[in-house]
Amino acid sequence: MKRITIITGHYGSGKTEVSVNLAMDRKKEYDKVAILDLDIMNPYFRSRERQKMMEDLGIMVQFNSFGFDITEDLPALSAALKTPLENKEYQAIVDVGGDNDGARVLNQFRKYFLDGDSEMLFVANRNRPETPDVAGCMGHINAIQAETGLKMDGIINNTHLLSESTAEDIIRGYKMCKDLSKESGLPIKFTTCREDLLDDLKAANEKEGIDDMVIYPIKLYMRPSWLG
Amino acid sequence: MAEKKLMKGNEAFATSAIHAGCRYYFGYPITPQNEVPEFMSRELAKAGGYFIQAESELGAINMAYGAAAAGGRVLLSTSSPGIALMQENLSLLSSVELPIVLVSVMRGGPGIGSIQPGQADYNQATKGGGNGDYHTIVFAPASIQEAVDMIYKGFDVADEYRNPVMVCADGMIGQMMEPVVLPPEKAPLAEEEIGNVKPWALTGHKEKRERNAINSVWLQQELLEEYIEQYWPKYVKAENELQDWEAINVENCETLFVAYGSVSRVVKEAMADLEKEGHNVGLIRLKTLWPFPHKAFELIGDNCKNVICCELSMGQMMKDVEAEVKGKYPVHLINRVGGMLLDPVEVVERTKKILEVK
């Protein structure tokens, strides 16, 4: 993966959960890791809600300029967001708000994304009403590219139904992402899978004859246990 | 069965209304329900409906009054301070027996408050701030699926009772994602059918019937009294027929929890932990806030020693629970306010403290 990974997608596709997982995992390999929460769309379930968990591990968490107030609905971004983008010692995960509307915020940081040091990935969840097929996903990919002037570099299959997910869901999403990959020319970077479903998914892949799935085990950091 | 979709609460609320035949939505932005007007502005026209962004919540509910008077199915949505602004017209809609469905995505209050989840609008919803003798029928979902089902059914209930129906979600249910099966799509009434199904609606008399009038002003108090006494039995009927709740181990438990909405899910996880430690616990989860589910409390058995209310307010629901148990059991409160949430660990710890003191 590149030094800067920008996570985009239709809203509700699971960008924040993927971003927090990537930041947590990258910290295992790199000393300086930052997560940039650029979500100015949602008032809830943003990566900044896990600020303490990540900062305790030494991950830099950047979001708005009102750092004391993680829950307010303020689209004000901190100038300190630029630190991990400018300082090449940092690995940066950029967690963007949903749709092209949420991606618009990338424009002000565009110059940092042009030197080949970064990649922009599209998170796809086949179970979301607007992205059940190639056409739905292409619509969002094109809109995000047009909004930001940045080229998409890959697809993340993040098909799930939360606690009701099955290996079959993930495989259905994978097949759609395969078609999407063919249509868009973008590679599938990886397929996420909740840790407790890994064995199911491996068995189901074997049964289906799928041998090229890159599986990325994922923990649910954002969802409280009582929501199931 | 229809395929499950992963939906955000607010999107699902709006979709459910469209499936119930709603073709009119009037709204004004307020967090945490903004995705409802956003979704409706994009999707309602595709279903042949009308979206108008009003100049305020007052404007929205007055537009709803007009569309409902013409016999349409209308959805309104807002959050706590927005309901405060709408109270006058909830009384007005009730006074002329107009059906609407209103979703309240509750946040922290009072005043402008916070945008995180709250339940401190229990009194606002169930006791109302409007004037006069009326009730709002209030459902309280604990999941997105339940909210979808309550909104869908809410349109039928509103039409049957000719009364506003409120679905009291909270910020968590509005903002979170869950798998949902959407109910089947119903067509709205065709224009020529409206007069048959809703003979009171203002559809134009075309010189074939008496003129319909929808009017809240009564200059002769004798007639107003007569009118109130004529519609009041529907509230008695609602109290008998609409009470709804979920009961878990209510007959046998020693410690009975009472909760509603997303907090009930926190309580369920806390109950599982308490059971592991040997506690005998039960739950009444309110699915209707008005009518209050009195019948659920008749199920409480002889083992009961304590009743614990869990809510995100300073005890608004607890007052109704106290009235219900009439001093038979001590009633305690485990709460957070201002947009702060309870979590299962806190509920377990505070429950143990309450039981120790006994």
Q: Do B343 and A43 touch (CB under 8 A)?
A: no
| pLDDT at residue A40, rounded to an integer | 83
- Alpha carbon distance, N-terminus to C-terminus of chain B: 50
Angle at B295 between CA B290 and CA B299, to 5 degrees: 140
**Domain, as residue range, for A113:** 4-227
3-state secondary structure of B285: strand
Write the secondary structure of B153-170 as one string of H (helix), E (strand) and C (coil): HHHHHHHHHCCCEEEEEE
pLDDT of residue B357: 62
Predicted local confidence at residue A72, as pLDDT: 62
Residue A125: closest CA among chain B residues belongs to which residue?
B6
Contact assignment for B11 to A43 by CB distance below 8 Å: no
Establish if A68 touches chain B: CB-CB under 8 angstroms.
no
What average pLDDT does this structure show over A9-38? 96
In angstroms, what CA-CA distances link A63 with A48, B29, B34?
A: 7, 24, 22
- Answer whether A162 sits within 8 Å of B31, measured CB to CB: no
- pLDDT attached to residue B2: 76
d(CA B43, CA A132): 17
Percentage above 90 pLDDT, chain A: 85
Task: Residue A170: give its domain's CATH number.
Answer: 3.40.50.300
Interface size A-B, in CB pairs within 8 Å, comes to: 65
Please classify residue B176 by burial: count the beta carbons closer than 10 Å to its beta carbon, then call 0-12 exposed, 13-18 middle and 19+ buried. Answer: buried
In this predicted structure, the answer to whether residue A66 has a pLDDT above a threshold of 70 is: no
Between chains, do A161 and B4 touch, taking CB under 8 Å as contact? yes
Nearest beta carbon to residue A162 from set B31, B179, B266: B179
Q: Spell out the domains of chain B, with CATH numbers in brackets.
A: 4-191 (3.40.50.970), 245-357 (3.40.50.920)
Residues 17-46 of A with CB under 8 A from B: 42-45
From the list B335, B266, B347, the residue with the least C-alpha distance to B119 is B335
DSSP state of B353: H
CA-nearest residue to B341 within chain A is: A224
At B151, the amino acid letter reads I
Give tens-digit pLDDT for A114-151.
989 999 999 999 999 999 999 999 999 999 999 999 99
More confident residue, A156 or A63: A156
B191 contacts B184 by C-beta, under 8 angstroms: no
Predicted local distance difference test score (pLDDT) of residue A63 = 86
B154 band by pLDDT with thresholds 50, 70 and 90: very high
C-beta atoms of B6 and A12 within 8 A:
yes
Hey, are the CB atoms on B178 and A162 less than 8 Å from each other?
yes
Tell me the per-residue pLDDT of A68-91, one tens digit each, with 9 for 90 and over: 555 566 667 888 899 999 999 999
pLDDT tens digits along A196-223: 999 999 999 999 999 999 999 999 999 9
What pLDDT shows up at residue A70?
55
Q: What's the whole-number mean pLDDT along residues B266-281?
A: 98
The pLDDT > 70 percentage for chain B reads: 99
Percentage, residues of chain B above pLDDT 90:
97
What are the pLDDT digits (tens) for B18-45?
999 999 999 999 999 999 999 999 999 9
pLDDT, tens digit (0-9, with 9 covering 90-100), for B321-354:
999 999 999 999 999 999 999 999 999 999 999 9
Q: Which residue from B4, B11, B116 is facing A164, i.e. has the nearest CB? A: B4
- How many domains are there within chain A? 1
Question: ipTM, 2 decimals?
Answer: 0.89
- In whole angstroms, give the CA distance from residue A48 to residue A36: 9
Give the torsion through C-alpha atoms of A134, A138, A140, A144, to 10 deg: 150
| Across B177-185, average pLDDT | 97
The string of DSSP letters for B187-231 reads PPPPHHHHHHH-TTS-S--TTTSPPP------SSHHHHHHHHHHH
Q: What is the pLDDT of residues B215-261, one digit of tens each?
A: 999 999 999 999 999 999 999 999 999 999 999 999 999 999 999 99
- Range name among A1-5, A19-23, A41-45, B147-151 with the lowest pLDDT average: A41-45
